[in-house]
Structure 1
Amino acid sequence: MTPAIDLEATANRLDSYTPAAFHMEHHHHHKDTADLLMEAKEAQRIKTLEIMDARAELLRAKLSDDASSVTTAVDSNSGSPEKVVDDFHDPCGPFEGPEKLLELWFAEEPSDVSACRWSDPDARPDHFGLRSVPKAVWETMLDIVKCKVLSVIQGSHVDAYLLSESSMFVFPHKLILKTCGTTTLLLGLEKLLTIAAKALAGLNTAATFAKLSTPESEDADDNDEASTAMSDSSFIQERQLGSIVKHAFYSRKSFMFPERQKGPHRDWMLEVAVLDRFFDHGSAYTVGKMNGDHWLLWMGCEGAREAEVSSVVERPLTLPAPCVEDQTLEILMTHLSSASCARFVFDEELPHPTVAECFPRKQLTAAEASAPASSLDKGHALGLALSNKLGLTELFPDTEIDAFAFEPCGYSANAVMPRGGKNDNAGYWTIHVTPEEDSSYASFETNVALCSNSPAADALDETTLQLPTNLPSLVRRVVDIFEPGKMSVTLFVSTSEQEEEQVGSDKAVLTNEDILHALSIKGYKRTDRIAYEFERYNLVFVSFEKRRSR
């Protein structure tokens, strides 16, 4: 039998523990349960000190600008390559495909910021809110993140920035920043919020920090902590900046090469610590297997905002409702097939694509069709030609696409289209591919909510290339293009009070969460399935692995 453990005696030993006493005891007897617990406590203490040192180093790093190396970007106005100076990534070793994803909501709808504009003379005309911020200003933030703007497409409701490392989408009232490699996304958070605060200066906000100056507890230790917080002016400034954000989300897949990351991105808890400095009431989650592929999520609630009755905008009740008002679908894929990887390798000797390859729907003469697409630089022309070949330009109707092919390999694309939202009609999708076979990765993300009551995907002819009509058909279409060995699918959906009241009642139509929860993909086995219910949002996480052929 296993001997009983005297927990009280063990606790007393731990409380009186010192490293010197610990080493002295170990000269006289073998380890018992208390010894093992003391070792664990010491290891945890050392780990805590390491994290604290790393956090201090992080704060110092925010004030410094490291030495630079040279990389190439494309100026979106001229379309020609230019040399730029940047503290870039180590060119040696594998590239980290999985992205860091930050989404910040400063208001619920675009109309809420219609009176806000960038105050400087360089403001973009005919735009309001965050879209009035000029490109050059956003680039000052992206320099801190360590990525460059390749090109920009301006949709009716959103600006899509194609970056050297992924994408940025700027709406009037919110912003999405997605970066891969060893970019330092969270180090750019302070600059991003500073820009947003200036652009949205007319927004009704009230940053109240009474809780920092008037501690609730009379305990001396609590007062000391409050005094320390008050003396940290940078902390107060960060909280003031964070208070303009209504909702904040940060997420990423587990890294393939975490040891190559920089700044706070070396450790998930360091990333959480940075976010917690800016935002109140944040919560961090690990979704999936800790000893396998998993997805990390941080959510922050509404900032210190006082909504005045006079600022409420009345809207007609007869507007058609979308499937959901806010939905984000992510498909994160690894172990792409060799054939799929080969599609995204671009040799220097490849010819410049023709006009017909880039614009297949244009009415062209034979001479025009065979001429090089000289209106695009080679990277954009190769990217657009491949997008057409893979059918990506036909994923959704009325799509405007911006794609880039990297030499010797790699691919990125942004697309904007109407999404059918009731109050926000700005739809987008974005794709990024890292095709190195030892660390291949591809991601697909969209906020377009295909209605769950569309025709069943199983009834479609899988041999025919068709416009996806529902969530399963979209997932299968993407999977067929990239042929991953493993993948995870996450669906983040906003919920209304009316929907929450219907929980437990019979539903005439399955929701997209229900459909994803039950999703099956031919040739794949499901390895994980998790559902979360947060305040205002539901999350479904499903992972798949390709079945081995017998």
Structure 2
Amino acid sequence: MMAASENDFFEGTEKLLEVWFASSTNEDCDLRTIDRLEWEKLLTLVKCEIISCISDDDMDAYVLSESSMFVTQKRFILKTCGRTTLLSAISPLVKLVREKCGFDKVVDIFYSRKNFSRPELQFGIHRTFENEVRHLDELFPNGAAYTLGRVNRDCWYLYTLDQEGVLMPDQTFEILMWDMCPDRMNIFSRDVCTNGPEATKLSGICDIMPGAKIDDFLFDPHGYSMNGLLPGGYYITIHVTPEPQCSYVSFESNVPTESYQDLLKKVLDVFRPGKFLMTVFANEESVARESHRQLERENTFLKKEYVCQDHQYCNFKNYNLTYMYFSRPII
């Protein structure tokens, strides 16, 4: 979350890439055998760099100059903000994991993002989703592109493969927030906190998922990123762009649960956004596959503070996707 001067604009909205790999000959292939130097070379193509890394038995989590990267045995996640060129990494990534690990198949790919606040500032293919789709279609002949929400306002884009995909339990819960509370955003400044751990504690982020192994970083003069690891191959990641003219916060986790209501409430209590969109992506093997029904039935706390502007549900070959967009009522 590289900070900018007070008068500059920074695009907090991230580009999010998740790729699952497989080998037709070797079940023991492991992305984590790729050394850090190779990842650093790959990230130069994206226009970002590694700041720090934490690991556990299942995952390596990297805090980047622009957001985060996660590596497990078979899954690669890259989330980058600002003017990064994330899609430039896909072809080199596929080549890298084939040569270094022996993975010769892409089982599934997910590329998603909210619409940019200032798309004209992006490089090349990232200026429009149509350009991104054309680029991805050249790489994957069975791709499928979707837009959820209002294309003339705030919306969310998704590109995935039109195939059965990942068969092990898999889920992703994401909250993208903007029009942020200034008092909460001030915490993520060197004027208020001296480092990442102080901002994590003062903001209440440390209480969202107690027990997580946390790697956090406070940029100078402002901006914040954190990754958290939990046993079983689960992660949490939060990124904050606090500048008043372009305030934005993202929260993401793959923790499995039948209902994300409590987690949603914790995140909203910490950040108090004026607007947010939420997505729940879960396959048929996940305990979260019916979580959208819980959100429909038990969102009393949301109704007290927010108006649901859009609510869409999609059923793919092996995944269910829920999209909801909320804003505070105009008084």
- TM-score norm. by structure 1 comes to 0.56
Write the letter of the residue equivalent to 1:513.
Answer: H
Whole-angstrom CA distance in 2 between matches of 1:538 and 1:451 = 13
Deviation of 1:90 (Å): 11
Whole-angstrom CA distance in 1 between matches of 2:226 and 2:269 = 18
Write the letter of the residue equivalent to 1:538.
Answer: N
Q: 1:515 to 1:406 in 2, by over 3 A?
A: same
Trace 1:10-25 onto structure 2 (pairs within 5 A).
none
Asked if the contact 1:182–1:261 (Cα under 8 Å) also holds between the matched residues in 2, the reply is yes
Whole-angstrom CA distance in 1 between matches of 2:233 and 2:8 = 38
Whole-angstrom CA distance in 2 between matches of 1:161 and 1:90 = 25
The reply on whether 1:178 has 2:79 as its aligned counterpart is yes
Asked if the contact 2:146–2:159 (Cα under 8 Å) also holds between the matched residues in 1, the reply is yes
Which residue is 1:35 aligned to? none
Which residue is 1:200 aligned to? 101
Deviation of 1:255 (Å): 0.3
The reply on whether 1:331 has 2:232 as its aligned counterpart is no
The reply on whether 1:115 has 2:28 as its aligned counterpart is yes
Which residue is 1:513 aligned to? 292
Whole-angstrom CA distance in 1 between matches of 2:66 and 2:296 = 31
Whole-angstrom CA distance in 2 between matches of 1:303 and 1:491 = 18
- TM-score norm. by structure 2 comes to 0.91
- CA RMSD between the two structures: 2.7
Deviations along 1:161-212, whole A, 9 cap, x unmatched?
Answer: 10000000001101000000000001121211111112331x5x5xxxxxxx
Write the letter of the residue equivalent to 2:172.
Answer: T
More helix by share: 1
More strand by share: 2
Asked if the contact 1:517–1:540 (Cα under 8 Å) also holds between the matched residues in 2, the reply is no
The reply on whether 1:536 has 2:318 as its aligned counterpart is yes
Which residue is 1:156 aligned to? 57
Which one of the candidate residues 40, 43, 50 is aligned to 1:139? Answer: 40
Write the letter of the residue equivalent to 2:22.
Answer: A
* RCO comparison, higher one (Cα < 8 Å, 6+): 2
The reply on whether 1:94 has 2:94 as its aligned counterpart is no
Trace 1:94-493 onto structure 2 (pairs within 5 A).
94-107=9-22, 114-116=27-29, 129-201=30-102, 203=103, 205=104, 244-301=105-162, 325-347=169-191, 352=194, 382-418=195-231, 425-452=232-259, 471-493=260-282
Residue 9 of structure 2 aligns to a residue whose secondary structure is coil
Asked if the contact 2:307–2:328 (Cα under 8 Å) also holds between the matched residues in 1, the reply is yes
Which residue is 1:547 aligned to? 329
Deviation of 1:99 (Å): 0.2
Q: Segments of 4+ in structure 1 off by > 6 A? A: 89-92
Q: 1:338 to 1:325 in 2, by over 3 A?
A: same
Q: How many residues align?
A: 324
Q: 1:351 to 1:513 in 2, by over 3 A?
A: closer
- The gaps in structure 1 that reach 5 residues or longer are 1-71, 74-88, 117-128, 206-243, 305-323, 353-381, 419-424, 453-470, 500-508
Q: 1:298 to 1:426 in 2, by over 3 A?
A: same
- The gaps in structure 2 that reach 5 residues or longer are none
Deviation of 1:105 (Å): 0.4
Task: Compare CA radii of gyration and give the structure with the larger one.
Answer: 1
Asked if the contact 1:495–1:538 (Cα under 8 Å) also holds between the matched residues in 2, the reply is yes
Whole-angstrom CA distance in 2 between matches of 1:134 and 1:113 = 20
Whole-angstrom CA distance in 1 between matches of 2:281 and 2:313 = 10
